[in-house]
Amino acid sequence: MKDKIQSKLGKAFDKKLADAVHSFTCTKTIQSGQFDFATQTYPMQTIEAYSGRGVLFGSYKKDLVKPADYQVTDSKAVVLQNEVLKDGVEHKPQIGDVWVTSKGGFKVVNIGVDPTDSIWTCQLRKV
């Protein structure tokens, strides 16, 4: 079922939904090792990058927004899991990641998954 959903939605992203689909990239620095208080740095830093594409919706309706969880200016993205790739391998976005899109930068605030485990629904906040 997962493969069928991803195949059909992937084709829709290419054709019928092409005008609503936006590509995104995320590049972040991962710091690790024992924190050095004298220099205020970590000894190891690696750069992690991934990319994907999805349908970005507009803001949430004001009357549906829960003040603690959502802001009216937040956006929602539907992203196929098999199209979010890091070095050619499927990669799960993390809360706090910043996506760069044609609509600007967005920070991932929340991530949900559909019952078939084929789509991520991401709450995004403009940065």
pLDDT > 90 in the chain, percent: 54
- The pLDDT value given to residue 102: 87
Q: Which of 45, 38, 43, 75 is nearest to 59 (CA)?
A: 75
- 29-51 average pLDDT score: 92
pTM of the model: 0.79
Residue 31 CA to residue 3 CA, distance in Å, equals: 35
Domains of the chain: 2-126 (2.40.10)
pLDDT for the residue 81: 93
pLDDT in tens, 114-125: 999 999 989 899
- Find the range with the poorest average confidence among 12-16, 42-46, 64-68, 110-114: 64-68
